[in-house]
Amino acid sequence: MNDPASVRLQTGVPASGNAEPGLVRDPAAPSPGTAAADLASLIDSRVDRRGFQEAHWEGSFFDYLDIVMREPAVVRNAYQRLYDAVMTQGSEKYRLFKQDMVRYRFFSDPFDHGADAIFGLDSALMQMVDFLRSAAEGYGTDKRILLLHGPVGSSKSTIARLLKKGLEHYSRTEAGALYSFTWLLDDQCGPGAMDHAFPCPMHEEPLLLVPREARVELMTRLNERYAAAGGTGKLKLVGELDPFCRKVHAELMRHYGGDWRKVMQHVRVRRVLLSERDRVGIGTFQPKDEKNQDSTELTGDINYRKIAQFGSDSDPRAFNFDGELNIANRGVCEFIEVLKLDVAFLYDLLGASQEHLIKPKKFAQTHIDEVIIGHTNEPEYRRLQNNEMMEAFRDRTIKIDVPYNIRLDDEIRIYQKDFGPSRVRGVHVAPHTLEVAAMWAVLTRLSEPKKAGLTLLQKLKLYNGRAISGFTEESVKELREEAEREGMDGISPRYVQDKISNAMVSRQAIEDRTVNPFMVLNELESGLSHHSLISDEDTRKHYRSLLAVVKEEYEDIIKGEVQRAISADEDAIRRLCGNYIESVRAYTQKEKVKNKYTGRDEEPDERLMRSIEEKIDIPEARKDDFRQEIMNYIGALALDGKKFEYHTNARLYRALELKLFEDSRDTIKLKNLVSSVVDDETQAKIDVVKQRLIKQFGYNETSAADVLNYVASIFARGDSKTK
C-alpha cells in the first residue's frame, strides 16, 4: 500500500552481499578522481554521524520511560519549551532612562548568523518573554493568543520567524529533545504482522499512551525530579490521543484483552525534530482568497481515497490530520495577518486558544499543545475593536505593541545588516550615508517635544544617549512617557532600504563606485511624492522638512570631520596642549612662566588660554573654575599612576582641535578648492588632509574629495563652524 501515512518495514542486505546496508557502487563505474575524493573527504568530515543518530533515536516505549526518568524535561508543553529555548541563549541586563532592561540574545538570531536579528525593540521583546514565562508557569496566558501589533515593517513577522527558527534549533539540542511515537501494525492498521509503520499524525507525547488511572502518580514523580533540576512551572499531561491513535489504541486493547504491556509492543518511540519545512511542530497560516480556502486547512480533511478501504468517512483512518493546527502540535503555529482571516477561521482559534481543542470534521474535539502567534497591522486591529461580534476573540488575545525604532544607533544597525561592508561589493558606501537615512527615518517617528527649547533633532540625540545641557535621564523618561504612541507612526525601514538600494544601483554610483549621503537623501525625497502609505500633503511636507534638518546636521558632521582632519597633526596639537597646561598651571598657582627662548619669566599666556576655552563656550566668568577643574583632573590621574595626554580629557581635546583648525585653516586655504587654480603647496597640504579622512574616518578617494569640495564651498560662503 503506497500510503504516505505508513511506511513498509523491510529488512535485507544489499545486492553486493555486504552485511551493512548502504549504497552499492557499480564495479564498472570509474573510481572517483583525486579532486572528487578530496571533496568527498571534506564533506564527510563535516557530517556529524553521531549527532544524526542521536537526533533520530528510536526505541521501545519502556526505553522512553527510562529517558523520562533521567530527563523529565522532555515532557514539557509547548510554552515551557519555547520559553526555555529563549532563555537558553542567555541575556544581558542594562539601564536605559532609569529603567532596568533585558536584552535576550535569542533575538539576535544566533541560529543564522544574525540574518533575522532584531534591533532596538527590547521593551516589546521583554513583554513577550514575560508572556511566555507566565504561560510556562501555567498562570493563564497559556490559554491566550499572542497578538503582535504594530505598523508595517516593524519586525512583527521577523519576531515570529525567529521564534519558529529558534524552536527548531532548540529541538535539535540535547536540552530541547522531545519525542513522539509510531504504531507498528499490518497494512489495515490492525494487530497483525507489524510490518507497517504509522506515525502519530500529530506528533503527540508518548506518555498519552499511559492509562489515565496511572497518570497522576506518574506526573507527581516526574515533577519531583523536574523541580529539583530547576524546571519552570509544573509538568502536566493534559488531553487524550488524537482520533487516529485513539482508534488504534482501543482496537489493540480489545485485541489483547486489556493487556497494556502487549499493546505497547506495537509502539516505537522516536525523537522528533521540529521543522517548518517538514511540517512537524511548526505551522504557518496566511489569508487567501475566501473562495479557495476553508477551515479544513486548519483542522484536516477527509481522505476520500481511503473511504472505500475503511468503509466510512467518519473512520479516523480515512482522515488526514494535516491541517496547520494539527501539524503544529507540540510547537508553534503562526497566523500571518490574523485579523484578515475569515470569521470562520477565527472561531476555530477560540477553542484552540482557550481550551486547547480543535474540532476536525466528523470527529470529537481533539487536544492540541501549541503556541498560537498572530500578527496584524493597526487598521485591522482598529476594525477588530469596533466589531462587537468579535468580543470573544478580543478577550482571548494578549496584544503586544511592536513599534518602529526610535533609537538612532539601533536603526543604523538595521541598514548595516544589508548595506554594511560585509554585504556590499564593488561600491563604497561613504561614511554617514546609512546614518543620515536612519536619522531621517527616526525623526519621522518622533512626536514633537512639549518642552520649550527642545528641538526634534535634540530629542533624537537624547533618546540615543547623547548628553544635552539642561536635560537629565529623568527628563528623557518624561519625554518617553508623554508620547505614548511614539514609534507607531512614521516611515518604515522597508522604504529606506528600497531607496538606499536605488542609490546603490544608480548610474552615478556605478560610475563613481561610491554612494554618498546626498544621493540617498535625494532618493528618499523623490520617493515621497508617490509613497503609497502617505495619504495627506501635510505629512508629506513634514517629512520633506525633516530631510532639510538631516541635511543641515550632516553638514555640521562633515565640517567637524574636516576640521579634525586639518588639525590632526599630533605634534602640533601636543605642543599646543603643553603650552596651555603650562600656562594654566602657572595661572592657578599664581606663578610665572619661563620663556624658553629669552629665559625670562613672563605672565601666563592669557590670550592663548582664552582662545582655547572660548572654543568650548567657557565664559569669562567661569574661566577660573574650568582651569582649576583641569588641574584637579591632572592631579587625580597622577594619584592613580596615570599620565595626562592631550587626548585624555575629551572636552579639552575638542577645544584644542578647534583652535588648531582655526590656526591652520588659512595656511591650507581650503576655500581655494572651489577655484580652478590651486598652487602646489596648498594641494600638497590638501592631499594630507584627504589621506587623514581616508585613514581616520573611512572615506575613499572619491568620497574624501567630495567632502572636501563640499566643505570648501561652505567656507567659501563664509559659513565656517567655530562651535
What's the rounded Cα separation, in Å, for the pair 635 and 648?
A: 13
Q: At what angle do helices 122-137 and 78-88 cross, to 10 degrees?
A: 140
CA distance 208 to 144: 24
Give the type of residue at 702: T
Contact (Cβ atoms closer than 8 angstroms) between residue 445 and residue 491: yes
The whole-number pLDDT of residue 664 equals 66
Residues 400 and 146: beta-carbon distance below 8 Å: yes
Q: By C-alpha distance, which of 405, 407, 411 is closest to 462? A: 407
Q: What is the pLDDT of residue 17?
A: 38
Owner of C-alpha cell 540535547:
174
Cell of 220: 507527581
SS3 state at 336: coil
Please state at what angle helix 456-463 crosses helix 433-445, rounded to 10 degrees.
110
- What residues does each domain of the chain span? 408-548, 567-654
Query: Is the CB of residue 317 less than 8 Å from the CB of residue 344?
Result: no
pLDDT of residue 673: 54
Per DSSP, the chain holds a count of helices (H) and strands (E) of: 29, 20
- In sign, the C-alpha dihedral spanning 314, 317, 318, 320 is positive
In one letter, which amino acid is 207? L
User: C-alpha distances in angstroms, 58 versus 52, 180, 269?
Assistant: 12, 10, 6
Cα–Cα dist 702/509, whole Å: 11
CA-to-CA distance for 714 and 720, rounded, in angstroms?
A: 7
* Residue 552: partners with Cβ closer than 8 Å, 6 or more residues away: none
Copy the grid coordinates of residue 590. Answer: 599664581
10-residue mean pLDDT profile of the chain (723 residues): values are 47 39 48 75 79 89 96 95 96 87 95 92 95 94 94 94 97 95 90 89 96 94 86 89 95 94 96 95 85 80 88 89 94 92 82 92 93 92 84 90 94 93 86 96 93 89 84 84 89 94 92 93 92 86 95 91 78 85 90 79 88 89 90 88 83 82 63 58 79 90 88 68 41
Judge whether 326 and 201 are in contact, CB under 8 Å: yes
Contacts of 297 by beta carbon, 8 Å cutoff, 6+ apart: 285, 323, 324
Verdict on whether the full-model pTM lies above 0.95: no
The reported pLDDT for the residue numbered 10 is 44
Q: What is the DSSP letter of 341?
A: S
Give yes or no for a contact between 491 and 543, defined as CB atoms under 8 angstroms apart.
Answer: yes
Contact by Cβ (8 Å): 251, 301:
no
pLDDT, one tens digit per residue, over 218-269 is: 999 999 999 877 777 899 999 999 999 999 999 999 999 999 999 999 999 9
Residue with cell 556590499: 424
Read off the amino acid at residue 284. Answer: T
User: In the beta sheet, which residues pair with residue 303?
Assistant: none
